[in-house]
Amino acid sequence: MAKTRRPIEPLLWLLFSAGGMASAMLMPALVFLLGLAFPLGWLGAPDYDHLRTLMLHPVTRLVLFGVCMLSLFHWAHRFKYTLYDGLQVKHLNELLNTVCYGGAIVGSIVAAYLLWR
């Protein structure tokens, strides 16, 4: 029997890796500010006009899309293999692929729609 080859695996790993790097670089500061410091009143939340100018800028949208898309593929890869190895559910491989990578693809499309509609 021929060994199963998945030529797409290196691409998925590259996306996982890029997403891991992007989320590790950007997210700690963002989750600290947006998730903790602003809601808890440690720091004043940015005023609306400033944030609007910042977030609607084409470069910001592009960066946000990159971070969102890569981070979703990062999640897909890690989460799939956590279930695959952690729960040892090799027989559910197809389902895991669909849910994880499919979820990342759908999520990226939703992100693009929200950012540029």
Partner 1 sequence: MNNEPIYTAYHPRWLRPPMSTYWWLGKWPYVKFILRELSSIFVAWFVIHLLLLFRAVRGGEAAYQRFLDFSAHPVVLTVNVVAFFFIVFHALTWFAVAPQAIVAHMGKKRVPPLLIAASHYGAWAVVSAILSWLLLR
Task: Give me the residues that bind partner 1 (CB under 8 A), please.
Answer: 17, 19-21, 23-36, 38-40, 43, 45-46, 48, 50-52, 54-56, 64, 67-68, 71-72, 74-75, 77-79, 81-82, 86-88, 107, 110-111, 114-115
C-alpha 57/C-alpha 61 separation (Å) is 6
Q: How far is the CB of 8 from partner 1 (least distance, A)?
A: 19
CB 113 within 8 A of CB 61: no
C-alpha 26/C-alpha 9 separation (Å) is 26
Amino acid in position 114: L
Nearer to partner 1 by Cβ, of 9 and 81: the residue is 81
Nearer to partner 1 by Cβ, of 79 and 92: the residue is 79
Q: How far is the CB of 58 from partner 1 (least distance, A)?
A: 13
Cα separation of the two ends of the chain: 49
C-alpha 114/C-alpha 92 separation (Å) is 32
CB 55 within 8 A of CB 108: no
Q: How far is the CB of 40 from partner 1 (least distance, A)?
A: 7
Nearer to partner 1 by Cβ, of 11 and 110: the residue is 110
